Amino acid sequence: MEFCLREIEGEQAHDPIFIDKKMNSPPSSRCLYVPGPVIVGSGPSGLATAACLKAKGVPSVILERSNCIASLWQLKTYDRLRLHLPKKFCQLPLMAFPADVPTYPTKQQFVDYLEAYARRFDIEPRFGETVSEAEYDGALGFWRVRSVGPKGELMEYVCRWLVVATGENAETVTPEVEGMAEFGGEIKHTSSYKSGEEFTGKRVLVVGCGNSGMEVCLDLCNHNAKPSLVVRDTVYVLPQEMLGISTFELSMWLLKWLPLRLVDRLLLVMSRLMLGDTARFGLPRPELGPLELKNLSGKTPVLDVGTLAKIKSGDIKVRPSIKCLKRHAVEFVDGKTESFDAIILATGYKSNVPSWLKEKEMFSEKDGYPRRPFPDGWKGERGLYAVGFTKRGLVGTSMDATRIACDIQRCWNDEAKHRLPQ
C-alpha 262/C-alpha 59 separation (Å) is 46
**Residues 161 and 192 both lie in one domain:** no
Report residue 5's pLDDT band, with 50, 70 and 90 as the boundaries.
very low
The amino acid at residue 295 is: N
Domains: count for the chain: 2
Q: Are 404 and 184 in contact (CB under 8 A)?
A: no
Report residue 321's pLDDT band, with 50, 70 and 90 as the boundaries.
very high
**Residues 56 and 104 both lie in one domain:** yes
Report the 3 state secondary structure along the chain: CCCCHHHHHHHCCCCHHHHHHHHCCCCCCEEEEECCCEEECCCHHHHHHHHHHHHCCCCCEEEECCCCCCHHHHHCCCCCCECCCCHHHCCCCCCCCCCCCCCCCEHHHHHHHHHHHHHHCCCCCEECCEEEEEEEECCCCEEEEEEECCCCCEEEEEECCEEECCCCCCEECCCCCCCHHHHCCEEEEHHHCCCHHHHCCCEEEEECCCHHHHHHHHHHHHCCCEEEEECCCCCCEEECEECCEEHHHHHHHHHCCCCHHHHHHHHHHHHHHHHCCHHHHCCCCCCCCHHHHHHHHCCCCEEECCHHHHHHHCCCEEECCEEEEECCEEEECCCCEEECCEEEECCCEECCHHHCECCCCCECCCCCCECCCCCCCCECCCCEEECCCCCCHHHHHHHHHHHHHHHHHHHHHHHHHHHCCC
Instruction: Point out the least confidently predicted range of 23-27, 157-161, 303-307, 344-348.
Output: 23-27
Domain holding 141, by residue range, is 5-170+351-419
Instruction: Give Cβ neighbours of residue 175 (< 8 Å, ≥ 6 apart).
Output: 207, 345, 347
- In this predicted structure, what is the pLDDT of residue 24? 54
**Residues 258 and 112 both lie in one domain:** no
Instruction: Give Cβ neighbours of residue 97 (< 8 Å, ≥ 6 apart).
Output: 87, 88, 90, 91, 105, 113
pLDDT, tens digit, 9 for 90 and up, residues 93-105: 999 999 999 999 9
Of 294 and 318, the structure prediction assigns the larger pLDDT to 318
Report the Cα 293 to chain-centroid distance in Å: 19
C-alpha 82/C-alpha 102 separation (Å) is 10
Cross-strand bridge partners of residue 203: 226
- In this predicted structure, what is the pLDDT of residue 1? 30
C-alpha 294/C-alpha 210 separation (Å) is 13
**Residues 156 and 193 both lie in one domain:** no
**Residues 49 and 192 both lie in one domain:** no
The domain that contains 91 carries what CATH number? 3.50.50.60
pLDDT, tens digit, 9 for 90 and up, residues 36-88: 999 999 999 999 999 999 999 999 999 999 999 999 999 999 999 999 999 99
- The yes-or-no verdict on residue 142 having pLDDT over 90 is yes
Q: Which of 314, 345, 376 is the last residue of a domain?
A: 345
Q: Which of 306, 327, 345 is the last residue of a domain?
A: 345
Q: Are 309 and 172 in contact (CB under 8 A)?
A: no
**Residues 393 and 270 both lie in one domain:** no
**Residues 146 and 38 both lie in one domain:** yes
**Residues 390 and 337 both lie in one domain:** no
**Residues 206 and 81 both lie in one domain:** no
- In this predicted structure, what is the pLDDT of residue 419? 57
- In this predicted structure, what is the pLDDT of residue 17? 44
- The yes-or-no verdict on residue 416 having pLDDT over 80 is no
Of 243 and 70, the structure prediction assigns the larger pLDDT to 70
Angle (CA) 297 66 83, round 5°: 45
Report residue 224's pLDDT band, with 50, 70 and 90 as the boundaries.
very high
pLDDT, tens digit, 9 for 90 and up, residues 265-284: 999 999 999 999 999 999 99
Q: What are phi and psi of 412, to 5 degrees?
A: -60, -45
- In this predicted structure, what is the pLDDT of residue 295? 85
Q: Which of 345, 363, 395 is the last residue of a domain?
A: 345
